[in-house]
Amino acid sequence: MGFYTRSSSQARVAWVLLLLCSCTLLIRAHGGGSRKLYITYLGDVRHGHPDDVVASHHDMLGTLLQSKEESVASMVYHYKHGFSGFAAMLTQDQATRLAEFPEVISVKPSRRVRTTTTRSWDFLGLNYQSSHTPASELLQMSNFGEDVIIGVVDTEIWPESRSFSDVGYGPVPSRWKGECQTGPDWGINNCSRKIIGARFYTAGVPDEYLKRDSLSPRDHNGHGTHCASTAAGSAVGVDGEAASFHGLAAGVARGGAPRARIAVYKSIFAGYGDSATVLAAIDDAIHDGVDVLSLSLTVPYENSYGALHAVQKGITVVYSAGNDGPRPQTVEDTSPWVLTVAASKIDRSFPTVIELGNKQQMVGQSLYYQVKNINSSSHTTSSFTKLICARSCVPRHEVLHEIDVKGAILVCLNDNDAINPSDDFAHAAKYVVEGGGSGLIFAQYTTDALSSTVAYCPGIACVIVDIYISRRICEYAMDTSSPTAKIEPTRTVMSKDVLASKVASFSSRGPSADYPAFIKPDVAAPGANILAAVGDSYVTKSGTSMAAPHAAGVAALLKALHPDWSPAAIKSAIITTG
């Protein structure tokens, strides 16, 4: 048993002070607080070998964290090919102090990114060769984009699709420096002479999203496959079975540059992606040797300098403008060095006849098809059924809870802010499906995007109509004691009378909110109801995500025809061609 003395008390105080000092230093090193992913941008690569770039990153972060081990544990991505920088898990205090280093240009939090065909290429004048028409001059002169390499940063690809057949392709270009990463459902043979490279980026992606997707380049979402086949898909339906969505939009499906090679960079998992993973994809694409880079994504600030370095390396970078239209100054990417693409309509429509009980016929737009051998117990609209009008289908109004839709077609007279298919449409469709209804007629100001009439309507017919038609239908319903209606399957119509060459309502508008003097978007391309590959079949999708790969395909043709042209020259040729 010890004795309490003045000297032992002083010793204990000294130990406490030393411990507090150590804890202060430790907290200072670790920054305190919760950590999140930050992107540090250092500008041009200043070291000859990528390993030296990586070492310099660890030296810098190790200095900040006062530990080489902490640097390794915190590091998520190194950007070491096209530009220098890194993504690391840091506290806000650490990020603030790192930004004070003289070599650092910026330190920004990594932010979420979002993902934003048969007839469309003929509409653009890039006809594919058939028994009726010769191939367009640009396609012939560029040899269909042969051996140009298009990089696609997205949810990635379904390699078994007919759109990615490599029959007739020669060896992979010798200048290609990429690789084929494998995973549980992706082997080395899933890369080919068409899909020449495949990478995926899981670091920094929360486990909850990784568990819902494949840890490989395989696409279970469909968005990346759709975009890749739009830009560079091989021709499908020239001699054999036509590509179509259950008979709708039937024809030859192919990409703008059907002989181009494809390299894919999976940066989105189960709908989750962030700017750190997209930057890693851009950096690898620069190293691998792509000629054109297509990104159908929203674009945080951090990705703009990645695109700048890609352009400096001779890569044409194409971004989608975003889907927040028609409000002004909603365009996503306003960097002057990239090609920002809005979505336009084409000369194809999908009329769907609604016949009322009084024999009047109204026409809406849909992608409604009847399933063959349909179960007799299922509700269908092939015969007249009860018609019900709801004054609102907005969830907060709770009007639908008062309506029994069993066996009926519901008409939604929606609010004035119902410009595009939205949560209101999804809510109404779900109510009809769960209530045993047979159809939904949804009123809104535009009928540009029809994918929702399939996505939210399993087993029922959903039709989008304009406000005027919805009012006429409901006037009939109010004037009739037992109103009825039926919905006919959708047809495909191609005509000069169809409103084409107009910007789609959902497409984000310019000018730039940050720099109003920048006129953005640069160009519009087909993006409404575009048919392209998804899995082993073909599906229509709408969005500027569909427009961007159209522009990327054209850029690939120009690169094949003029291999010495710079990205600026290719961009100029696209935006100045009428």
Identify whether 401 is a catalytic site residue: no
Annotated active-site residue in 71, 161, 214, 545:
545
More confident residue, 426 or 561: 561
Which amino acid is present at 90?
Answer: L
Q: What is the mean pLDDT of residues 263-279?
A: 95
Highest mean pLDDT: which range of 148-157, 407-416, 516-525: 148-157
Report whether pLDDT(314) > 50: yes
Predicted confidence band at 351 (pLDDT cuts at 50, 70, 90)? confident
Annotated active-site residue in 147, 154, 213, 219:
154
By the 8 A CB rule, do 153 and 276 touch?
A: no
Q: Note the CATH number of domain 120-347+498-575.
A: 3.40.50.200
Predicted confidence band at 240 (pLDDT cuts at 50, 70, 90)? low
By the 8 A CB rule, do 252 and 130 touch?
A: yes
Identify whether 52 is a catalytic site residue: no
Residues 6+ apart with CB under 8 A from 208: none
Pairing type for strands 316-320 and 339-344 reads parallel
Where do we find the tokens 């269908």? 380
**H/E element, 561:** helix 544-561
User: What's the token pair of residue 170?
Assistant: 């020669």
What confidence tens digit (pLDDT) does each residue in 489-507 have?
988 887 665 555 689 888 9
More confident residue, 360 or 125: 360
Give the pLDDT of residue 25: 44
What confidence tens digit (pLDDT) does each residue in 85-126 have?
999 999 999 999 999 999 999 999 999 988 873 344 454 555
Report whether pLDDT(535) > 80: yes
Report whether pLDDT(358) > 90: yes
Annotated active-site residue in 81, 223, 226, 246:
223
Give the pLDDT of residue 371: 67
The domain locations on the chain are: 29-109, 120-347+498-575, 351-491
Identify whether 545 is a catalytic site residue: yes
**H/E element, 12:** helix 6-30
Between helices 544-561 and 223-232, what is the axis angle to 10°? 30
Average pLDDT value for the chain: 86
How far, in Å, CA of 143 to CA of 560, rounded? 8
- The CA-atom distances, in angstroms, between 38 and each of 276, 300, 507 are 8, 13, 30
Task: Name the nearest CA neighbour of 280 among 82, 423, 416, 413.
Answer: 82
CATH class entry, domain 29-109: alpha beta
Predicted confidence band at 275 (pLDDT cuts at 50, 70, 90)? very high
35: left (phi over 0), alpha (psi -120 to 50) or beta: beta
How far, in Å, CA of 340 to CA of 338, rounded? 6
How far, in Å, CA of 531 to CA of 553, rounded? 15
How far, in Å, CA of 281 to CA of 432, rounded? 42
By the 8 A CB rule, do 150 and 232 touch?
A: yes
351-491: CATH architecture:
3-Layer(bba) Sandwich (3.50)
